[in-house]
Amino acid sequence: MKLLRWGPRGAEKPGLLDAEGQVRDLSAHVSDLAGDAVSLRALDRLRALRPEDLPVVEAERLGACLAWVPNFHCVGLNYARHAAEAGAQPPAEPVLFSKATTALAGPFDPIVIPKGSVKTDWEVELGVVIGAEVEHVSEAEALSCVAGYCVVNDLSERAWQLEGTGQWSKGKSAPGFGPIGPWLVTADEVPDPQDLPLWLDLNGETQQLSSTADMIFSVAEIISYMSRHMRLRPGDIIATGTPEGVGMGQTPQRFLRPGDVLELGVTGLGDQRQTALAWPG
């Protein structure tokens, strides 16, 4: 299934994309898509529905594919060539950090460059949505805990992330810095999360073009590792790292300016498009 949320900002309704590309209304069957509503058991109930029995709707806007997330986890330096462009040694274990859950945004919503930002950067990533409560899961069983996958743009303010003291989260958490979607694609439609091309264009020019095959730690390794240190919950999202081609890694460095247009996607999971706007004041 390809699950989505459609409608005006703050008033989205749950839906699914049918085989003909039409949006079908799910609101009679689930109040919204988040938390336990995207657990493995809940997804089985939705999977039993017949799409042709659901109303077709005209969706002028798609929101974030999850209404909210218990946790917005992220993995840093998880692509070999990205670690190289950052001048870093490949990490011996996953580098973990978090984004504020208030960073969540729709896949086509504009990016407001934060007040005072000078180094807002882009990062296309594979997002993993957890479908079960998980602790101490083995790598062999880790993928069985996945509800689905989605596109994530892990937007980052590099000066705030790297040039001061403290943790990365302050450079990752501005409002709108976590576009997800357009769809939550259930795990049964993604047979191998380590074989997904992903890409990002800036103003029509390719900046990132890679595959999840370049990950240092696989999705299964990440979930297993994280579950040894914390409890994962249904609806948690994990942004699994970005490939090479971010603005920080270029010579000279290139960061977002008002009017820039980002287009990005992961094969099979849909595409995003965002326009950068100046801070309004």
Given this model, what pLDDT does residue 281 score? 55
- Residues whose CB is less than 8 angstroms from the CB of residue 165 and which lie 6 or more positions away in sequence, other chains included: none
**How many Å apart are CA 181 and CA 159, to the nearest integer?**
27
Q: Which fold has domain 72-277?
A: Fumarylacetoacetate hydrolase; domain 2 (3.90.850)
The segment(s) of the chain belonging to CATH 3.90.850.10 are 72-277
**How many Å apart are CA 162 and CA 177, to the nearest integer?**
16
Structure-block tokens of residue 78: 């998880």
Instruction: Tell me which DSSP letter residue 189 carries.
Output: G
Is 0.85 topped by the overall pTM? yes
pLDDT tens per residue across all 281 residues of the chain:
999 999 999 999 999 999 999 999 999 999 999 999 999 999 999 999 999 999 999 999 999 999 999 999 999 999 988 878 878 788 999 999 999 999 999 999 999 999 999 999 999 999 999 999 999 999 999 999 999 999 999 999 999 999 988 889 999 999 999 999 999 999 999 999 999 999 999 999 999 999 999 999 999 999 999 999 999 999 999 999 999 999 999 999 999 999 999 999 999 999 999 999 999 85
**How many Å apart are CA 273 and CA 264, to the nearest integer?**
7
Phi and psi at 131, nearest 5°, equal -115, 5
Given this model, what pLDDT does residue 89 score? 86
Identify the burial level of 167 via C-beta atoms within 10 angstroms of its C-beta, where 0-12 means exposed, 13-18 middle and 19 or more buried. exposed
- Residues whose CB is less than 8 angstroms from the CB of residue 184 and which lie 6 or more positions away in sequence, other chains included: 2, 3, 4, 33, 38, 65, 66, 129, 147, 148, 149, 150
